């Protein structure tokens, strides 16, 4: 069974994701630097899919399975050589 998001909302520090099974996940924005640095309009410009959340303007995709498992952004910022 795929668990999907039904709504995403934000406060100053947290992304709140409502799931179709009734749970609401509170995820620190610090886990996702692109969302942390985004404007309110950019954060609210998301698309829901069967298994995740996508922000086209931010080039950000977050899986619901990853959020449930407690995974944050896995991007590694490496210094330029």
Q: Which fold has domain 5-68?
A: NE0471 N-terminal domain-like (3.30.2020)
Instruction: Check residue 17 and give its pLDDT.
Output: 97
**Are 74 and 63 within 8 A, CB to CB?**
no
pLDDT level of residue 67 (50, 70, 90 thresholds): very high
Burial of residue 15, with CB atoms counted within 10 A of its CB: 0-12 exposed, 13-18 middle, 19 or more buried: buried
Q: pTM for the full model?
A: 0.85
Q: Where are the domains of the chain?
A: 5-68
25-47 pLDDT per residue, tens: 999 999 999 999 999 999 999 99
């Amino acid at each position: 069974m795929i668990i999907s998001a039904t709504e995403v909302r934000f406060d100053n520090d947290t992304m709140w994701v409502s799931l179709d099974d009734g749970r609401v996940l509170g995820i620190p924005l610090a886990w996702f630097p692109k969302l942390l640095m985004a404007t309110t309009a950019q954060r609210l410009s998301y698309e829901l899919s069967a298994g995740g959340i996508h922000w086209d303007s931010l080039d950000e995709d977050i899986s619901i399975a990853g959020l449930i498992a407690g995974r944050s952004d896995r991007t590694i910022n490496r210094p330029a050589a």
